[in-house]
A = this chain, B = another copy of it.
């Protein structure tokens, strides 16, 4: 198992993964998702073409932790027509045009009255905002400030052909069973409508990774969870209170398709293994990585890190949410994400999984003085060869610190050397009998 470090990473992050993820994001993009309803189910259908899913439906009104599952929302159409009967705002063209979870309405009114129900972004006048009203029943539309400014006074017809009715909340899971019942949770929110980075990208990455892992034997079991934000995570936790303690490590994935960042937000604990792995990996793989401390706002890491669970789940993103101009607007579209960025995001997550899988403590079997590497063919003559030098140093660090108290990640951190090289060299030393598992 041990000598498969690079195999593992390469198996998880296949060369054509970027294009495949972009294609899935493209399919997911047009669907009008929300925290409940058929948009979620249709999205899970697309994901299920790649990986088997177990779906869970939780009925409206169910008590989930401190919350109640709301009425199910579905929508057929929505528009604003002018006096001439022309659609000046059309849900069919962009599902962001409707206030997500909008109550149904069919009414004629003046522009002034209508404006009470219209949301724009005056400082980004060309973008349609993404707005929701899950727990306060109201109706509304979103449009660009420019388009609003172009509307003449007069009477308009506002129609939201939606339903808010008893139904259920849907989430889907894929469990990859490893050697241990201990789990790694990987999750992405499935509730946002046509926002490419936030989170068609995360859904696509999760599906690709789950698919790539299927043939592999892993140390941990891996739970891939596709659930609506907040209420979905809360519902999952409510239904899995006892099992949640199996989750030893985890990552929330959102906004993984743009070219910014990368950003890693630590767990509440701050020095969990996933925190150390991500910090180490991003530092070595990216010129500038943004590692931020936990704060109780953002995505579902809020729920997993709540004091009743304290699961060690971090958040991985490229650009940090709410810091890029396209965030929660119509500019977060398929042009904003790229296959290459999805690929490098997948690489980072794959590398983190490699750390979780391969980190362990060894014992140097020749701990008194340095063992003579030369006669074992392990010591490259140090010349102009930078790779040989790095390998030699990695081996010396591993031998020096492998006293049973330092894991490979500990060594990689202290030696300021990529984990992959440390793990590779540990494999070579183990083959020669110089290391034995602690």
Interfacial residues, chain A to chain B (CB-CB below 8 A)? 65-67, 135-136, 230, 233-234, 237-238, 241, 268, 295-297, 302-303, 305-310, 364, 366-372, 374-375, 393, 396-397, 399-403, 415
Given contacts A135-B374, A268-B400, A375-B135, contact A368 B297 (CB under 8 A): no
Q: Report yes or no: A369 in contact with B234, Cβ–Cβ below 8 A.
A: yes
Q: Decide yes or no: A368 and B241 within 8 Å by CB, A307-B401, A400-B306, A400-B307 being known contacts.
A: yes
User: Copy number in this complex?
Assistant: 3
Q: How far is the CA of A85 from the CA of B393 in the complex (A)?
A: 45
Residues of B near A364 (CB, < 8 A) are 307-308
| Interchain CA distance A307-B400 in the complex, whole Å | 6
Interface of A, secondary structure class, is loop
- Complex CA distance for A302 and B424, rounded to whole angstroms: 22
Decide yes or no: A307 and B66 within 8 Å by CB, A237-B368, A396-B297 being known contacts.
no
A-B pairs, top 9 by smallest CB distance, nearest first, are: A308-B367, A308-B368, A307-B403, A296-B396, A296-B400, A66-B371, A307-B367, A234-B369, A65-B369
Q: Are B370 and A302 closer than 8 Å at their CB atoms?
A: yes
Instruction: Please give, as numbers and ranges, the residues of chain B lying within 8 Å of A238 by CB-CB distance.
Output: 368-369
In the assembled complex, how far is the CB of residue A149 from the closest CB belonging to chain B, in whole angstroms?
20
Asked, given contacts A296-B400, A297-B396, A375-B135, whether A368 binds B65 with beta carbons under 8 Å apart, the answer is yes
Assess the A370–B305 pair: CB atoms within 8 A. no
With contact pairs A307-B400, A307-B403, A374-B135 given, residues A297 and B367 touching in the complex (Cβ less than 8 Å): no
| Minimum CB distance partner of A403 in chain B | B307
B residues within 8 A CB of A400? 268, 296, 302, 305-307
Partner of A372, one of B66, B241, B307, B374: B66
Contacts of A302 in B (CB 8 A): 370, 396, 400
- Output the least CB separation between A315 and chain B (Å): 14
A140 to chain B, nearest CB (A): 13
Q: Is the CB of A369 within 8 A of B308?
A: yes
Contact partners of A369 in chain B: CB under 8 A: 65-67, 233-234, 237-238, 303, 306, 308-309
Chain B residues, CB < 8 A from A303: 369-370
Chain B nearest CB, measured from A420 CB (Å): 20
CA distance A384 to B271 in the complex (A): 34
A233 contact set on B, CB distance < 8 A = 369
- Cα separation A234 to B268 with both chains bound (whole Å): 47
Instruction: Looking at the assembled complex, report how far the CB atom of A119 sits from the nearest CB atom of chain B, in whole angstroms.
Output: 11
Interface centre among A135, A305, A307, A366 (most CB of B within 10 A): A307
Q: What separation, in Å, do the CA atoms of A238 and B366 have in the docked complex?
A: 12
The smallest C-beta distance from A93 to any residue of chain B, in angstroms, reads 27
Answer whether A399 and B65 are a contact pair too, CB < 8 Å, given A306-B367, A370-B303, A370-B306: no
